[in-house]
Structure 1
Amino acid sequence: MKNEKNIAILQEMAEKVRICMLTTLSNENEFSSRPMGTAKIEDDGSIWFFTNEYSLKSKEISKENEVNLAYSDPSSNTYISVNGKAELVDDQARKEAYFSPPIKAWFPEGADDPNLILIKVTPSAAEYWDSNASKMVVAFKMLKAIVTGDTPDLGKHDTIKF
């Protein structure tokens, strides 16, 4: 039951943000990050992305599959960091199910594009910060904390395991 609750938290927050920075480890043992649009978060918590099978990130994932996903939406004060293992998956049914018109900009042949492959990230842990308050309310709470010496309550923060 706990895992289902954690997956539901991840789904709700990450689907609201949609775009994340996918960080992999390069061949030179340096971090390499790029923006990625989330294609789908399944009920088991797996997070799916489209990519080119021959891209640098595909090569990096093939060599070292530990990744981090960083979702950020400053306008709603929502931030999520997801650690997990990535794998390249060639699943035609999922390609067709998750394909959307914006993806066609990178893959003009659609779900049948020969270079199209999926990245599946299986989360191991995530940390999130979520404040549904506006920027003005957050600024007020921070100012109040400075004046009173108290720690501001800026919303929910938690670490979740999968």
Structure 2
Amino acid sequence: MFSRKTFDMKNEKNIEILKRKIEEVRICIFTTLSAKDEFSSRPMATAKVEEDGSIWFFTNEYSPKSAEISKDNQITLGYSSPSDNTYITVNGKAELVDDRVRKEAYFSAPVKAWFPDGIEDPRLILIKVTPESAEYWNGTSSKIVLAFSLLKAIVTGEQPDAGKHDKINF
């Protein structure tokens, strides 16, 4: 069974937990609402998690994702690292930001693959996600311990110890 805590105040400890976990996983499924009011998801690499908890991504200003954010800025990010048994969801609001200083600071070689002209690319824009709530699950890091916990649960009829589950509200 997951142990559960709820944090109701935006504070440095909660942001640091979220920042550390996202930086460990880095790639997320970024979900928006399409023009047809359907969920639309795609993998995206996190460019930066700032000290205030905002999460930054690079994108094409003229992509469907950008249009979806302009129409309805409620988004969900889903991070998953099955090998580490770490899972994170973030619900928040996204906005398109054209900030040259951040583009320069966060630009990396993988981003250059999508935008070969670098920060001078006229399509290049940033997405800023301001988290409203987040949850994370940290399972035991050892597959053997997890397998033993599942076997014990089957034998005893008790729920297995699946690790830690926390919810963070901002």
CA distance in 2: counterparts of 1:2 and 1:104, whole angstroms: 34
- Residues 73-129 of structure 1, C-alpha deviation per residue, up to 9 Å, x if partnerless? 000000000000000000000000000011110000112211000000000000110
User: TM-score when scaled to structure 2?
Assistant: 0.92
Q: In structure 1, what is the equivalent of residue 142 of structure 2?
A: 134
Q: In structure 2, what is the equivalent of residue 45 of structure 1?
A: 53
Q: In structure 2, what is the equivalent of residue 19 of structure 1?
A: 27
**Which AA in structure 2 matches 1:18?**
R
**Structure 1 position 51, deviation (Å):** 0.2
CA distance in 1: counterparts of 2:20 and 2:140, whole angstroms: 13
Corresponding pairs, count:
162
Unaligned runs of 5+ in 1: none
CA distance in 2: counterparts of 1:113 and 1:139, whole angstroms: 49
**Structure 1 position 136, deviation (Å):** 2.2
CA distance in 2: counterparts of 1:25 and 1:136, whole angstroms: 40
**Structure 1 position 41, deviation (Å):** 0.1
Q: In structure 2, what is the equivalent of residue 91 of structure 1?
A: 99
**Which AA in structure 1 matches 2:40?**
S
Identity, in percent, stands at 71
Q: Which structure's relative contact order is higher, taking Cα pairs within 8 Å and 6+ residues apart? A: 2
Unaligned runs of 5+ in 2: 1-8
User: 1:67·1:85 contact (CA, 8 Å) conserved in 2?
Assistant: yes
- The 5-angstrom pairing of residues 98-109 of structure 1 reads 98-109=106-117
